[in-house]
Amino acid sequence: MVERNITLVEEFILLGFSDMPNLQGFLFGFFLVIYVSILLGNGLIIALAKVAPALQTPMYFFLGNFSFLEICYTSVTLPRMLSDLWTQKRNITLLACATQLFFFLILAGSECLLLAVMAYDRYVAICRPLYYPLIMNHRICIGLVIGSWLAAIPAVIWQIYQIFSLPFCGSKILNHIFCDTLPLLMVACGNTSVIEFTVYGGVALYIMLPFILIIRFYVKIIATIVKLPSAIGRFKAFSTCTAHLTVVFLFYGSAIIGYSRPKSNATGIDKVLSLFYTIVTPMFNPIIYSLRNKDVIAAFRKLVSK
């Protein structure tokens, strides 16, 4: 009978921001504004990358795909969080939790890989400019984007199967804002060390490895830029990289800290960290790429004038 009670789990409770009962209405309005701004801002980047003739380059092709990925990535978690804040019903079924985690992990892995692809694009453009049209042709760009979207799927399927094959016992409360790997392992029964090892293996493969590649590309980019004879040339070359670097450090900084923390040390700070890589980065992505980008600003003005 005890074993049956352990294995037949039907739902979890997502605590979210329930420890701030007087701020539920404010938080709902705050996150709703953020979600709308993410949809509008990234949607505008997608539209500009698609229709503006000046933006028909590999750099903006990747940026348009990245913005679409940001919309999908945020939509996996934020609407559910808004619903919890509005209805005050924080229960989530086992199937819904598994589905949310499945798409979250796939899109998070895709984001890491696509950021690495965008760094590679900048590396080829600055360090091998004569070969840029040949290396970054349309077929290669499409292949890199498709590969970024699909590469994480096999590992995620295996990880989801491992996690939800576990028996869950004791508290069904997840001290998080969405279904994530580490909070689920905290309420799982039995020995979870093997699954934790696969989780950290996934972190190494889909977060740390792309991050190392990005750092490597930018070391070569900076080495090339400092050798340019013209100060204007150096400024122009580096300005094409600053937006991408800002997004990289916002996303990777919070993700690495969040997923490198031991399971036993998980606290409310993980909620704050998760907000950075699920909400803050998608929100600031259009701002970062447009404020200092003359091509995007010019394309936007032409679109508005029409």
Buried b (16+ CB within 10 A) or exposed e, 194-227: ebeeebeebbeebbbebbebbeebbeebeebbee
Q: Look at residue 269 and tell me whether its pLDDT is greater than 90.
A: no
Contact (CB, 8 A) for 148 and 206: no
Buried b (16+ CB within 10 A) or exposed e, 6-24: eeebeebbbbbbeeeeeeb
Q: Look at residue 5 and tell me whether its pLDDT is greater than 50.
A: no
Question: Using one digit for the tens of pLDDT, what is the confidence trace for 50-71?
Answer: 888 888 899 999 999 999 999 9
Token digits for 238?
A: 């580096």
Q: Per-residue pLDDT averaged across 43-47, rounded?
A: 91
Q: Look at residue 121 and tell me whether its pLDDT is greater than 90.
A: yes
The mean predicted confidence, pLDDT, of the chain is 84
Q: Look at residue 113 and tell me whether its pLDDT is greater than 90.
A: yes
Q: Look at residue 39 and tell me whether its pLDDT is greater than 90.
A: yes
Q: Per-residue pLDDT averaged across 208-221, rounded?
A: 92
**Which of 99-108, 179-188, 264-273 is most confident?**
99-108
- pLDDT band with cut points at 50, 70 and 90 for residue 295: confident
Q: How many angstroms separate the CA atoms of 188 and 162, rounded?
A: 11
Among 38-47, 130-139, 171-180, 210-219, where is mean pLDDT lowest?
171-180
Contact (CB, 8 A) for 177 and 17: yes
| Structural domains present in the chain | 11-305 (1.20.1070.10)
Q: Per-residue pLDDT averaged across 97-113, rounded?
A: 93
Q: Look at residue 117 and tell me whether its pLDDT is greater than 90.
A: yes
Q: Look at residue 258 and tell me whether its pLDDT is greater than 60.
A: yes
pLDDT for the residue numbered 133: 92
**Which of 141-145, 197-201, 229-233 is most confident?**
141-145
Single-letter residue type at 8: L
Question: Using one digit for the tens of pLDDT, what is the confidence trace for 81-91?
Answer: 999 889 888 88
Q: Kindly report each contact of residues 171-176 with a partner whose C-beta sits within 8 Å and lies 24 or more positions away, as own/partner.
A: 172/9, 172/11, 172/12, 172/13, 173/12, 173/13, 173/15, 174/12, 174/13, 174/14, 174/15, 175/15, 175/266, 175/267, 175/268, 175/270, 175/271, 176/14, 176/15, 176/16, 176/270, 176/271, 176/274
Among 88-97, 161-170, 219-228, where is mean pLDDT lowest?
161-170
Q: Look at residue 251 and tell me whether its pLDDT is greater than 70.
A: yes
Percent of the chain with pLDDT over 70: 92
Q: How many angstroms separate the CA atoms of 242 and 240, rounded?
A: 6
Q: Look at residue 250 and tell me whether its pLDDT is greater than 90.
A: no
Contact (CB, 8 A) for 97 and 58: no
pLDDT for the residue numbered 234: 77
Instruction: State residue 85 phi and psi, 5-degree precision.
Output: -70, -35
Q: Per-residue pLDDT averaged across 225-240, rounded?
A: 78
Contact (CB, 8 A) for 117 and 148: yes
Q: How many angstroms separate the CA atoms of 41 and 286, rounded?
A: 5
Q: What angle do CA 218, 219, 223 make, to 5 degrees?
A: 110
pLDDT for the residue numbered 42: 92
Question: Using one digit for the tens of pLDDT, what is the confidence trace for 279-289?
Answer: 888 888 888 87
